């Protein structure tokens, strides 16, 4: 069983294209053109071209690429901002900031954020600018993908709970309770959400978020059963457990 994975993208279309080129090179070396590629979530925010990333993924899937795209916490917030449901507290103000990176996503859709326009006016402009196809794509993102050996999820899981008992909030946002838990989760968990300087294998989990949202690297990895490698431009680099 071979399967590829790409870490948190955060609007970095150029890096995403390069990650797929590295995967294509590994496919050529192995002769495997059918293996699935899982994108671990956080497609948007911070980077320069969130719109381009979403369109690239839509086009690839439409052309028959064996791609799976998971929802990240940033994708969740973006979808909420685009929702017509006005009930409850809107996440727009906290999302449209340099820390969350929603301002970069708005700019990629051509919405001018460097003005003193009211938040509601900006939100209406964004809703008009985002194509319905992009909204539907965000709404349809999966929360996780599993094989017999691996579980791919954006942030992690609540340790000790079956997948049927997991809640979306944990799958997209959890950190400490998951990261500090060293028990065997049954499947090896492949996740992002918490940036690290280099991919790390902790025995029970593999973190492939290497900070593309902060203009660092975007990791492409390949897994065969529970064995892991990181892909560079020419080869596989083993990523063993400790």
> Could you tell me the two tokens for 83?
């929702």
What are the 10-residue block averages of pLDDT along the chain, 242 residues in total? 97 98 97 96 98 98 98 97 68 88 96 72 92 98 98 98 97 98 97 98 98 98 98 96 94
CB neighbour class for 24 (10 Å; exposed up to 12, middle 13-18, buried from 19) = exposed
Contact indicator for 117, 96 with CB cutoff of 8 Å: no
Q: How many CB atoms lie within 10 A of CB 212?
A: 25
Q: What is the dihedral of CA 197, 73, 64, 219, to 10 degrees?
A: 0
**What was the pLDDT predicted at 129?**
97
The answer to whether the beta carbons of residues 151 and 190 sit under 8 Å apart is: yes
* pTM assigned to the model: 0.96
Distance CA 138, CA 41 (A): 11
- What pLDDT is stored for residue 116 in this prediction? 54
Q: What is the pLDDT of residue 89?
A: 58
Give me the residues paired with residue 70 across strands: 142
Contact, 133 vs 58, CB < 8 A?
Answer: yes
Write out pLDDT tens, residues 118-174: 788 888 899 999 999 999 999 999 999 999 999 999 999 999 999 999 999 999 999
Cα 69-73-55 angle, rounded to 5 deg: 40
Sheet with strand 144-146: strands edge to edge: 144-146, 150-153, 188-191, 205-207, 200-201
Dihedral over Cα of 215, 41, 111, 120: its sign: negative
CA 130 from centroid of its chain's CA atoms: 19
Give the pLDDT of residue 58: 98
Instruction: Provide the total of helices (H) and of strands (E) in the chain, helices listed first.
Output: 9, 11
User: H-helix or E-strand containing 152?
Assistant: strand 150-153
CA 42 to chain centre: 4
Radius of gyration of the chain (CA): 18
pLDDT tens digits, one per residue of 104-114 = 999 999 998 76
Of the candidates 29, 67, 16, 19, the one whose C-alpha atom is nearest the C-alpha of residue 232 is 19
Which segments within the chain are labelled E, that is strand? 2-6, 37-39, 67-69, 144-146, 150-153, 188-191, 200-201, 205-207, 220-224, 227-231, 236-238
């Amino acid at each position: 069983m071979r399967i590829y994975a790409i870490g948190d993208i955060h609007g970095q279309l150029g890096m995403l294209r390069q990650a797929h080129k590295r995967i294509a090179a590994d496919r050529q070396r192995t002769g495997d053109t059918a293996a699935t590629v899982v994108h671990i979530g956080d497609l948007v925010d911070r980077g320069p071209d969130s719109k381009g990333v979403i369109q690239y993924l839509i086009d690839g899937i439409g052309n028959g690429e064996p791609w799976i795209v998971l929802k990240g916490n940033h994708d969740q917030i973006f979808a909420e901002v685009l929702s017509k449901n006005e009930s409850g507290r809107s996440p727009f103000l906290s999302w449209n900031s340099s820390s969350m990176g929603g301002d970069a996503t708005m700019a990629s859709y051509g919405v001018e954020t460097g003005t003193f326009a009211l938040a509601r006016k900006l939100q209406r402009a964004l809703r008009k600018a985002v194509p319905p196809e992009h909204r539907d794509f965000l709404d349809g993102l999966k929360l996780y993908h599993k094989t017999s050996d691996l579980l791919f999820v954006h942030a992690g899981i609540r340790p000790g709970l079956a997948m049927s008992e997991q809640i979306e909030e944990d799958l997209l946002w959890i950190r400490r309770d998951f990261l500090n838990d060293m028990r065997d989760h049954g499947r090896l968990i492949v996740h992002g959400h918490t940036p690290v300087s280099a991919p790390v294998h902790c025995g029970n989990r593999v973190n492939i978020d290497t900070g593309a949202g902060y203009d660092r690297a975007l990791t492409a990895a390949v897994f065969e059963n529970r064995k892991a490698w990181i892909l560079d431009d020419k080869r596989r680099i083993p990523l063993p457990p400790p």
